[in-house]
Amino acid sequence: MQEESFMLRTRWHYWTCSKFADWIRGEKKPYALEWGGWTEWEQEQKTKRPIRFWLSDTGLKWLQNIVYFPSDIYHTIDCYVSNRWISKTHYLKTGFKPGGYYEFDEKIIHALFNELVDFVEKDLAHMGNFNSQEKYTFKNGRCVEAAYNYFKWAKNLKDTLPNGKRVLSQQAKGSRKIKQLYEWWTKKRPNRPDPYEASGWSKVCQISSESDFAPKQLNKQMQAMKKLTQIENKYDNEDTAMLIELIKIRHHLWS
């Protein structure tokens, strides 16, 4: 079970990442490192300059927590109220209009992929905006352009193997898969041909309703029904495959 902290200390600015901290430390803190890179960097700093590193990365953190204590209390209460009654982050949002009936399988895919859209257009967008010289415009906390700036940055991150070989990091692989699933849900899936139109079923039904029943129409109906079933099965298999891919990368969906 994941433990919850009473005090939320989410900050846009950390004193340990400031120019003042870099001055105390004697070295500029990296903006981002590869998988395992932070541990190596911290060990290197502790070895080279232990006192200066403690002052810049531990002492400043303690001092900031003391100074920000009143605002942390307010922020904790504000986040609880927002999460509980406004954004309601404790449950998944399907995006369906109220009043209708929806099958469980529909609710599953819409809920999970709508959460993925929120993650990309909100969480990753803010990360992409933070490390950019461009001025992105956010609307209701969303910005697709900023999210794509994150994808551009993250897709080529690499790790160094013990033998010195450079390979794509897990973060890079995860970001590429997230982008693929996001574009499938927002672009490809909504534009799939309607199965009733693509199979010819709608046309066959229209002709049958406008004319007297004729045995020759039966063969066309059977062919159209067969094609309709094939298309629907293809779409269903594609949906299932994408849901599985989303579950596989769930550990990358954090910010």
Per-residue pLDDT of 189-236, as tens digits, reads 999 999 999 999 998 888 766 555 566 678 888 999 999 999 999 999
* Vertex 90: Cα angle to 84 and 91 (nearest 5): 120
The residue assigned the tokens 């995006």 is 95
The conformational region for residue 36 under phi > 0 = left, psi -120 to 50 = alpha, else beta, is: left
pLDDT in tens, 39-88: 999 999 999 999 999 999 999 999 999 999 999 999 999 999 999 999 89
Task: Please indicate, yes or no, whether the overall pTM of this predicted structure exceeds 0.75.
Answer: yes
How high is the pLDDT of residue 56?
97
How high is the pLDDT of residue 1?
35
Specify the DSSP element, H or E, that contains 168: strand 166-168
Give the whole-angstrom CA distance, residue 255 versus residue 250. Answer: 12
How high is the pLDDT of residue 2?
41
* Vertex 245: Cα angle to 243 and 248 (nearest 5): 110
Give the whole-angstrom CA distance, residue 203 versus residue 142. Answer: 41
How high is the pLDDT of residue 42?
95
Give the whole-angstrom CA distance, residue 113 versus residue 44. Answer: 41
Domain range annotation of the chain: 1-91
What integer is the mean pLDDT of 32-43? 84
Give the whole-angstrom CA distance, residue 133 versus residue 188. Answer: 31
Give the whole-angstrom CA distance, residue 215 versus residue 213. Answer: 7
How high is the pLDDT of residue 3?
41
pLDDT in tens, 105-157: 999 999 999 999 999 999 999 999 987 788 999 999 999 999 999 999 999 99
How high is the pLDDT of residue 4?
45
How high is the pLDDT of residue 18?
95
Q: Which two tokens stand for residue 144?
A: 């697709």
How high is the pLDDT of residue 209?
63
The DSSP symbol for 84 reads I
Is the confidence at residue 89, as pLDDT, over 70? yes
Q: pLDDT band for position 103 (50/70/90)?
A: very high
What integer is the mean pLDDT of 99-107? 96
Residue 84 has phi, psi (to 5 degrees) of -80, -40
